[in-house]
Amino acid sequence: MPAPAYFLTWHTYGTWLHGDDAGSVDREHNARGTPRLAPDRDRFQRTLASLAHTPVVLTREARCDVEAIMCEHCTRRHWTLKAISVRSNHVHVVVLSRIEGSVPALFVEPETIVKQLKDWGTRELRRRCHISPRQRPWTDHASTIHLFEPGSLAAAIRYVSEMQDDRVPISGREDWDVKLGLRPRTRRAEQTTPPP
């Protein structure tokens, strides 16, 4: 029996690299509950240098466009979307595994959901010229947490819906702004003096 719901997370291209200060996972270090890889400045620099293009950081407008198309796609596929948050450098989705209205009950695998949402998000980003036709907006893989435990669905919904901070640096992480040379953004309402 599949899990009743999934908590899915993936990053934008180039924004969470091996060797990063926040840690990372790779093929040899990815067991649930085990520590992430330790920071490794040399590995981080090698990985950053090997990127095909600059890291993709979504603007507020791009985030809204991606979120809208992903919600629309879930509706078309009869997937019950419980929560979604498209951030500047990652996406969180909480979705039920049972296809709404299916008799007998049909279930969708988390990898199918991730692939289709990434595909539709990519098309929308390109259609609206947020990225170039050659840019890859997403990492190859995603975290696919199966929500079996009592209370896990409610906790995931709460995390995605209520615990995502809008007052974040451009890339979503202050350390990335320094590494990538991004200037911090300010909201118009927060600006007390005109920008230089």
**Taking Cα atoms as reference points, which of 94, 90, 181 lies closest to residue 139?**
90
pLDDT digits (tens, 9 = 90+) for 24-40: 777 776 677 777 788 88
| pLDDT over threshold 50, residue 8 | yes
Across 114-122, average pLDDT: 98
Residues 76-112 have pLDDT tens digits of 999 999 999 999 999 999 999 999 988 888 999 999 9
d(CA 80, CA 88): 24
Q: Which domains does the chain have, with CATH numbers?
A: 5-14+56-183 (3.30.70.1290)
User: CA-based angle 72:74:79, to the nearest 5?
Assistant: 150
Mean pLDDT of 172-196: 41
Location of structure tokens 């990985």? 47
Q: Return the percentage of the chain with pLDDT > 70, whole number.
A: 82
Q: What is the pTM of this model?
A: 0.79
DSSP secondary structure letter of residue 45: H
- Using one digit for the tens of pLDDT, what is the confidence trace for 141-157? 899 999 988 899 999 99
